[in-house]
Amino acid sequence: MLLIPCPFCGPRPEIEFVYGGEAHIARPADPSALDDAAWAAFLHTRSNPRGRHAERWRHLHGCARFFNVVRDTVTDRFAEHEAGG
Amino acid sequence: MTYSFLRLAAEALRGQTGWTPAWRDPEPKAEYDALVVGGGGHGLATAYYLAREHGITNVAVLEKGWIGSGNAGRNTTIIRSNYLLPGNEAFYEHSMKLWEGLEQDLNYNAMVSQRGVLNLVNSDAARDAAARRGNAMRLHGVDAELLDADGVRAMVPYLDFDNARFPIKGGLLQRRGGTARHDAVVWGFARAADRRGVDIVQNCEVTGIRVSNGRVMGVETTRGFIGAGKVGLAVAGNSSRLAGMAGMRLPIESHVLQAFVSEAIKPLIDCVITFGAGHFYISQSDKGGLVFGGDIDGYNSYAQRGGLPLVEDVMEAFMALLPLAGRLRVLRSWGGIMDMSMDGSPIIDRSPIEGLYLNTGWCYGGFKATPASGWCFAWTMAKDEAHPLNAAMRLDRFASGALIDEKGAGPYPNKH
Ligand SMILES: Cc1cc2nc3c(=O)[nH]c(=O)nc-3n(C[C@H](O)[C@H](O)[C@H](O)COP(=O)(O)OP(=O)(O)OC[C@H]3O[C@@H](n4cnc5c(N)ncnc54)[C@H](O)[C@@H]3O)c2cc1C
Ligand SMILES: [Zn+2]
């Protein structure tokens, strides 16, 4: 069981959270300005690192807020928080 | 050495002293015509079909650990060709046909058992979807039967039919589906490839891909540089890492999938049963253990082990379907790292780098695909173009929009 550090509630069990995938993928402000490759990169391409992964979680069954955190995808250790968004 | 009844009898008489290793353990050469990275089922099958179908025998399979140490040796061994979409169904049916002749072809007992795959339906909507999928299968010439509740009851009377939440209303049955012994599939392809001259190099991790002027030159490994004009990547959950070595980013996330086996019991389940309402699937191994699994844990992982929330989820589904599960002890559980694609379907294609080929995106359904995946990947590597069977499994479909999304789940790899 992951013990996920919610920046607002502290460490809480994984079952209270919903996973939001890789962090820092912002929807392009003007999608129609993008070509197909750039749009596909936004929608489908991911870093998928073995090791430190900046990811989004939502504490749905708690404070319900989104936050970003860095987790190691091999050890499952959480490193640090980042600003939400 | 060809395996046969005569050979078995002769060895019995001389005390089993004449057996030789099933494949050689060669030092890697400095250069090959083609390299396949990854000694799972797909990589070994690719090497075998490169030699058998295309006469390309100066080939090595490079495996970082031992062959079959990845998902090939960790899966729940279900084989079937009950897909809905045109880009998938013909491919998986080709795989099923290869399974049907595989043991004779490889001269190896892979324990292919066409015991039937039964997908249960628990609601009217699920029945409609099953009927639609069954019809799509039959239009492709594939066997499918829609059973009502009595039909299911006659096959597997011990399920919880009148469960208040998930009553069993029928099922879609593919009688030609079933299971195969996963390790034996790996060993069978390895031995058959080796017999045609392929070098199987274990304990050889690829650490870099050398590219010059947009062309692949070979790979850096823990056993030195190995040159080749063609390099095929078949590394399942490590696809993003390997592609990253050549500067590419993929529409793939790596996720952990767990599986379980119970203590051995007397013969109970003589087919494969899948329970869509709870996402659960189960069969019984020849040793008597019930082999079962469910969903992925749902977050990016390279850990080859999962967490307890998913264990609980799988056990709940097991209890809902088969209340007798409450009396069973679970013997072992384990995890494998899946290459989850953004539309839930695989990629067998060339890459933007000349001579570098991709085989990835198998999600948790790649075992059944092993023969056809190798067959199509070998074709693609040998001829530098896709076969019609894998023509839709393109890398650029994510840009063109021609996705193959069986579930209609959208670009969420943990939802496929
Ligand atoms: C628990 C579980 C249950 C499953 N159940 C089913 C099922 O019932 N039916 C079904 O059809 N599918 C199932 N699957 C999916 C199926 O097992 C996979 O899709 C399939 O095995 C992937 O192809 P492969 O055999 O080539 O992969 P793998 O066996 O994972 O092969 C990849 C190989 O690449 C090697 N490798 C990685 N990096 C490097 C490197 N840098 N250098 C050299 N070698 C490298 C790895 O060590 C590994 O041996 C399941 C998977 C799991 C984990
Ligand atoms: Zn919170």
Interface predicted TM-score of the whole assembly (ipTM), two decimals: 0.94
Q: Which of residues 6-45 of A touch B (CB under 8 A)?
A: 13-15, 19, 21-22, 36-37, 39-41, 43-45
| Interacting residues of B318 by C-beta distance below 8 A, sequence separation 6+ | B280, B282, B292, B325
Question: Which two structure tokens, joined as six digits, stand for A81?
Answer: 């928080």
Question: Which two structure tokens, joined as six digits, stand for B366?
Answer: 């790649």
Q: What is the mean pLDDT of residues B224-241?
A: 98
The domain locations on chain A are: 3-25+40-83
Q: Which CATH number fits domain B5-78+182-250+343-415: 3.30.365.10, 3.40.50.720, 3.30.420.40, 3.50.50.60?
A: 3.50.50.60
CATH classification code of A3-25+40-83: 3.30.2270.10
Q: What is the pLDDT of residues B153-195, one digit of tens each?
A: 999 999 999 999 999 999 999 999 999 999 999 999 999 999 9
Give dist(CA B375, CA B390) in Å, integer.
Answer: 10
Give dist(CA B360, CA B379) in Å, integer.
Answer: 16
The model's pTM is 0.97
Q: What is the mean pLDDT of residues B309-326?
A: 96
What pLDDT score was predicted for residue A84?
A: 53
Which of A1, A19, A76 comes nearest B298 by C-beta? Answer: A19
Give dist(CA B320, CA B327) in Å, integer.
Answer: 13
Q: What is the pLDDT of residues A41-78, one digit of tens each?
A: 999 999 999 999 999 999 999 999 999 999 999 999 99
Per-residue pLDDT for B309 more than 80? yes
What pLDDT score was predicted for residue A79?
A: 87
What pLDDT score was predicted for residue A85?
A: 46
Closest CA to B48 of B236, B198, B233, B204: B198
Q: What is the pLDDT of residues B18-77, one digit of tens each?
A: 999 999 999 999 999 999 999 999 999 999 999 999 999 999 999 999 999 999 999 999
CATH classification code of B114-177+253-341: 3.30.9.10
CA of B63 to the centre of ligand 1 (A): 12
Q: What is the mean pLDDT of residues B290-319?
A: 96
What pLDDT score was predicted for residue B82?
A: 96
Instruction: Give start-end residues of each CATH 3.30.9.10 domain in chain B.
Output: 114-177+253-341
Confidence bin at B410 (pLDDT 50/70/90)? confident
Q: Whose CA is nearest to atom 33 of ligand 1?
A: B38
**Over the range B206-232, which residues count as b (16 or more CB within 10 Å of their CB) and which as e?**
beebbbeeeebebbebeeeebebebbb
What pLDDT score was predicted for residue A83?
A: 52
B-chain CB neighbours of A55 within 8 Å are 299-300
* Averaged pLDDT score across all residues of chain B: 97
